[in-house]
Amino acid sequence: MGMVRLATGMTACLLAACLLSAGLVPAHAAGPLRPAAGPPRPVADSLQPAARPATERAQAAGPQDMKPAGPSSGVRYGLVIAGLGGEQKYVDQHLAWARGFYEVLKVEHGFPEDRLYLLVEDPDAAGGPPAVKSTLEEIRTVLAELARLVRPGDDLFVLLIGHGSATGTGPRLNIPGPDLTADTLRDALGEIEARYTVVVNGASSSAPFIDALTGPDRVIVTATKSGAERLSTVFPEHLLDALKAQEGDLDKDGRVSVLESFVYARNKTAEWYEGQGLLATEHALLDDNGDGRGTREPGPGGTDGTLAGRIYFGRGPGGPEAAAGTVTPGGQALQARMEDLRWSIDELRARKEQEDPGEYAARMEEMLIELARVTRQLRELQTPEEQSP
């Protein structure tokens, strides 16, 4: 029976290889593509990151916070910043969005609380999630803390909410006290050695942040297409919906990529204005190729969208973080191998046009068969409750 199952799996893989080589199925059909996860890191502080002011946490940080050398860990960090609201309706709206992003990253996408940071205009009104005030001092301190904690294999997600400005001394997010400028954020992110950095600026007049923040291994999303789009935005509301797996998971693979979330939120934002009978005053952009020019239509055949399509907010039920406490060490090794294979498959597919067709098909077939074998071995180690349907 085991040989029959293996043979059937190989047949399925051969078929998948043919479909891939013909370009008939998307790359994400093979799953998320990331390097293997490394060993778990020690917990530097028993308190949650947002449970007390960042300045106080920085003073308590010790040598264990320094990034050790080693293999990629694939850990994800999230930073949510909500700026000034002005009118009470925007104060309430921005706070609700910020809390929503915090909760959806934690609950839907498995971000541990000790890797989530929430900064808002009024922390006392934040309710459940621990939060600190979104002043420039606190933001700088949190970013400095992330520079100590984030390893080269980790991913960082930054979400900005509020009112922006692109006049005067440059693009900025309005926060209590001195504003957060794009240059300040750029300099701070330059000190963080993340594998991938995703910045979503959902504020008005946010487009100029693309030019300031663009770079290799970065995805920059803005709610507007220019600094002249100065009215309040609704893009964050639809992005929040996109991060709920049942909403933004466009290909129904159980996880949401940055590209999927952008496409969903962009479309829903346009529908909202149409439904209200209003002329759209915001047009979201995405840049992920480092040229500093965002696009409204990322995806296959375009200049942007390839990297965003490979970065997922969550790792899904089979990801290494989810599996760390539920499978044996041997199973964790198989998880790492599976991640390596998925990464290699997508990298090969991205180079399809430059590869010899025969060699491309042979290598793809070999990797897909190996992926099927590793997946089968992993499922045999899991209990029925842990196995996906």
**Burial state string for 194-217 with b = 16 or more CB within 10 A and e = fewer than 16:** bbbbbbbbbbbbbbbbbbbbbeee
> Taking a C-beta distance cutoff of 8 angstroms, is the pair 161, 236 a contact?
yes
Given CA atoms 339, 345, 350, 351 in this order, what sign does their dihedral have?
Answer: positive
Query: Residues near 40 by Cβ (< 8 Å), separated by ≥ 6?
Result: 73, 324
Which burial class, exposed, middle or buried, applies to 328 when counting CB atoms under 10 A from its CB (0-12, 13-18, 19+)?
exposed
> Taking a C-beta distance cutoff of 8 angstroms, is the pair 50, 155 a contact?
no
Summarised one tens digit per residue, pLDDT across range 354-388 is 889 999 999 999 999 998 898 888 788 765 544 44
**Burial state string for 141-177 with b = 16 or more CB within 10 A and e = fewer than 16:** bbbbbbbbbbbebbbbbbbbbbbbbbeeebbbbbbbe
Domains in the chain, CATH or no CATH each: 2-32+329-381 (no CATH), 49-287 (3.40.50.1460)
Closest CA to 80 of 224, 242, 203, 208: 203
**Burial state string for 15-24 with b = 16 or more CB within 10 A and e = fewer than 16:** ebbeebbeee
Joined tokens for residue 220 = 């920059």
Q: How far apart are CA 31 and CA 388, in angstroms?
A: 14
What is the per-residue pLDDT for 315? 54
pTM for this entry: 0.71
The residue type found at 159 is L
Tens digit of pLDDT per residue, the chain (389 long)? 443 333 334 444 444 444 443 343 333 333 333 333 333 333 233 234 444 444 444 444 333 333 333 333 568 999 999 999 999 999 999 999 999 999 999 998 889 999 999 999 999 987 778 899 999 999 999 999 999 999 998 999 999 999 999 988 899 999 999 999 999 999 999 999 999 999 999 999 999 999 999 999 999 999 999 999 999 999 999 999 999 877 888 877 778 899 999 999 999 999 999 999 999 999 999 999 999 999 999 986 668 998 998 898 975 433 444 434 444 566 667 766 777 787 778 778 877 888 899 999 999 999 999 988 988 887 887 655 444 44
What is the per-residue pLDDT for 104? 94
What is the per-residue pLDDT for 83? 97
What is the per-residue pLDDT for 329? 60
> Taking a C-beta distance cutoff of 8 angstroms, is the pair 55, 137 a contact?
yes
Residues in the chain: 389
Q: How far apart are CA 325 and CA 314, in angstroms?
A: 17
> Taking a C-beta distance cutoff of 8 angstroms, is the pair 223, 203 a contact?
yes
What is the per-residue pLDDT for 13? 45
